[in-house]
């Protein structure tokens, strides 16, 4: 405890000094917030490769990816060891598009190269996004916070006592109880009428029934991200570099097994740097690049299917045919509910956890602050206009850019309404990730194979039936002041919203199965690609090499809870504590 207080005092002292030095140097303290965060170009240049590691700038741990798991992991490890955290994006603290709940849609609409969100389109034709900012997905998501089920914790083999210490560590710092919006109360009442009971009130726990969950938006609508968890770090032992784009992991291949020794990264000016681990065999490189970035990084580093690596002229470090395989995403479909008057914006607050393997959530309204980017709804918004009627081979880059531009010019009026969202828990359908190029900044090719398994499709049909009943309920009619809509009309409104690049069909409102396939969207809960027993062991060490570990959702074969961010942040803290205990003993005092 005394050590923790001392670290906090030291941090405040550093902050004070940093404020003085930053103002003199012309930097903006508010942009970086913590004294240990610097631009990648501040790192010493190095031109020689040290196969054994070590040197003046050697670290006990190098964490690649300062996202949902990477920030709490690095903060925890820094309590006892030197840590270098490398993040390809910038900082979220002074970014209005990230910081305010009312700008939620705009972060996803910003398709510029400096956006906190890097959009990609899966081969399924579904628009998607991956984070590119310190704090990761916690900077671009809808903020909903809810824990994993006890079944999930048991399934992955985590120590329940350590889990129950790690969740509160996150919650005390950045999680809040939401002020429940009127629309969300209507959603709750409608779910209860349909038998999604009992009402469990406000809780973080994953239990059957209907509940209100937590949020990482505070009472003023300001987002608290995983980057804020860095406040718990020891500032003397942590270095965070932003705009540090790791190109690959460096290996010593002179021994019986390849050994990770460092990383190669580019700074914001395009200059290359190398960072190395200390000589200790307990030192590690930990990949926390997310479910898209981590399998991509393994492949670029020479771990993957041998013939595919050779095709891309990547030197093979280790053949492993499972890297990038088993990719999954929880498919989501939305029902649009119109209003006769403007409605207060609300993101996810209510969730119905059903026993049929479907989760029901809802959002309403639209917001945009004065200091946000000057465009509307980007690739995530509802619109009349069907680029999606074009077959895949006719979707030229020009057509896609025109599609995005049209979406930026939509009037706000289309958001005078709400959406009931149904998504599939633990989809059985899986796909794969492959490299398109050897440039780490290019998105890989990702296929999720939504609804390939008939059980997934049937659960979607069940969920859509429930969502349409909710939209037709007395609770919703009283709130929206609209007449009861027919199922056909509800589905037609949702189909005409151009939400993906999947070709539409003439019977997509007559067949709920076709409706599910034609209107599928993502809720950014993709996972897999580095599964336990195939790419990593149960402690998440990469199989076949030394000193390389993975800590993120790429190791999961299902997404935890209804929304994964709580568990991924907890995982970062949990694995940090576990590594410290394994290395120092249970009396490490962390």
Residues serving a catalytic function are: 525
Tokens, residue 378? 């980007």
Tokens, residue 62? 């190098």
DSSP state of 450: T
DSSP state of 78: T
**CA dist., res. 208 & res. 355, Å (int):** 7
C-beta of residue 379 within 8 angstroms of C-beta of residue 222: no
Rounded to 10 degrees, the C-alpha dihedral 51/436/265/114 comes to: -170
SS (H, E, C) 234-266: CCCCEEEEECCEEEEEEEECCCCCCEEEEEEEE
**Helix, strand, coil: what percent of the chain each, to 5?**
35, 20, 45
- DSSP labels, 362-374: EEE-----TTS-S
**CA dist., res. 113 & res. 575, Å (int):** 32
Instruction: Print burial letters for 78-111: b (CB count within 10 Å at least 16), e (below 16).
Output: bbbbbbbbbbbbbbbbebebbbbbbbbbbbbbbb
- How far CA 70 is from CA of 114, 274, 553, 578, in Å, comes to 20, 20, 11, 15
Looking from the CA of 300 toward its CB, the CA atoms found within 13 Å total 26
Query: In 3D, which of 181, 189, 184 has the Cα closest to residue 474?
Result: 189
Question: Which residues make up each annotated binding site?
Answer: 87-88, 133, 246, 524-525, 553, 564-565
C-beta of residue 356 within 8 angstroms of C-beta of residue 185: no
Backbone angles phi, psi at 546, to 5 degrees: -105, 150
- On the question of a cis peptide bond just before residue 579, with omega within 30 degrees of 0, the verdict is no
Query: Which residues are CB-neighbours of 580 under 8 A, at least 6 positions away?
Result: 76, 77, 79, 80, 81, 588, 590
**CA dist., res. 203 & res. 571, Å (int):** 20
Query: In 3D, which of 574, 577, 587, 565 has the Cα closest to residue 215?
Result: 565
Q: For the chain, how many helices (H) and strands (E)? A: 16, 25
Rounded to 10 degrees, the C-alpha dihedral 66/555/446/250 comes to: 60
Question: Which residues make up each annotated binding site for FAD?
Answer: 87-88, 133, 246, 524-525, 553, 564-565
**CA dist., res. 200 & res. 202, Å (int):** 7
CA gyration radius for the chain?
24
Query: Which residues are CB-neighbours of 567 under 8 A, at least 6 positions away?
Result: 147, 148, 152, 560, 561
Query: Which residues are CB-neighbours of 185 under 8 A, at least 6 positions away?
Result: 350
- The strand pairing partners of 77, in sequence order, are none
SS3 231: helix
């Amino acid at each position: 405890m005394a050590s923790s207080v001392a670290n906090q005092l030291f941090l405040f002292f550093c902050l004070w000094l940093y404020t003085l030095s930053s103002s003199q140097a012309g930097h903006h303290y508010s942009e970086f917030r913590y004294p240990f965060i610097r631009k990648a170009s501040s790192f010493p240049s190095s031109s020689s490769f040290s196969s054994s590691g070590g040197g003046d700038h050697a670290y006990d741990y190098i964490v690649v990816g300062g996202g949902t798991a990477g920030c709490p992991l690095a903060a925890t490890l820094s309590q006892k060891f030197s840590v270098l955290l490398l993040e390809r994006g910038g900082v979220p603290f002074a970014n209005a598009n990230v910081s305010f709940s009312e700008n939620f849609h705009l972060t996803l609409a910003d398709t510029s190269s400096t956006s906190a969100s890097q959009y990609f389109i899966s081969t399924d034709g579904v628009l998607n996004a991956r984070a590119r900012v310190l704090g990761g997905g916690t900077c671009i998501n809808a903020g909903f916070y809810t824990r994993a089920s006890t079944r999930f914790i048991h399934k992955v083999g985590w120590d329940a006592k350590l889990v129950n210490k790690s969740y509160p560590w996150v919650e005390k710092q950045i999680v809040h109880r939401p002020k429940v919006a009127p629309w969300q109360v209507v959603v709750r009442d409608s779910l209860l009428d349909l038998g999604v009971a009992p009402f469990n009130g406000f809780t973080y726990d994953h239990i059957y029934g209907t509940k209100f969950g937590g949020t990482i938006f505070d009472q003023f609508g300001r987002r608290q991200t995983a980057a804020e968890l860095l406040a718990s770090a020891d500032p003397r032992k942590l270095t965070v570099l932003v705009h540090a784009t790791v190109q690959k992991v460096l290996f010593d291949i002179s021994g019986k097994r390849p050994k990770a020794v460092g990383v190669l990264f580019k700074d914001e000016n395009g200059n290359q740097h190398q960072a190395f681990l200390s000589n200790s065999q307990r030192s590690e490189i930990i990949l926390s690049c997310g479910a898209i970035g981590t399998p991509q990084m393994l492949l670029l580093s020479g771990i993957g299917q041998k013939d595919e690596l050779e095709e891309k002229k990547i030197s093979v470090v280790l053949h492993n045919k499972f890297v990038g395989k088993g990719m999954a995403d929880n498919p989501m479909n939305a029902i649009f509910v119109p209003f006769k008057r403007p409605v207060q914006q609300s993101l996810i607050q209510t969730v119905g956890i059903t026993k049929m393997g479907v989760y029901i959530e809802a959002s309403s309204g639209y917001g945009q602050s004065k200091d946000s980017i000057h465009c509307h709804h980007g690739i995530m918004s509802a619109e009349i206009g069907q680029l999606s009627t074009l077959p895949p081979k006719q979707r030229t880059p020009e057509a896609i850019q025109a599609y995005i531009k049209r979406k930026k010019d939509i009037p706000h009026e289309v958001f005078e309404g709400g959406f009931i969202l149904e998504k599939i828990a633990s989809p059985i359908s899986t796909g794969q990730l492959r490299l398109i190029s050897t440039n780490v900044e290019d998105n890989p090719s990702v296929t999720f194979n939504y609804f390939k398994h008939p059980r997934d499709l049937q659960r979607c049909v069940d969920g859509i039936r429930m969502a349409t009943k909710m939209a037709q309920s007395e609770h919703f009619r009283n709130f929206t002041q609209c007449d009861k809509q027919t199922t056909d009309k509800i589905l037609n409104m949702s189909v005409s919203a151009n939400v993906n690049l999947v070709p539409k069909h003439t019977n997509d409102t007559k067949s709920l199965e076709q409706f599910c396939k034609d209107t599928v969207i993502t809720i950014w809960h993709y996972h897999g690609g580095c599964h336990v027993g195939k790419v990593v062991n149960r402690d998440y060490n990469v199989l076949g090499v030394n000193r390389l570990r993975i800590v993120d959702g790429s190791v999961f074969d299902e997404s935890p809870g209804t929304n994964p961010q709580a568990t991924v942040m907890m995982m970062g803290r949990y694995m940090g504590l576990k590594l410290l205990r394994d290395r120092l003993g249970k009396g490490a005092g962390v």
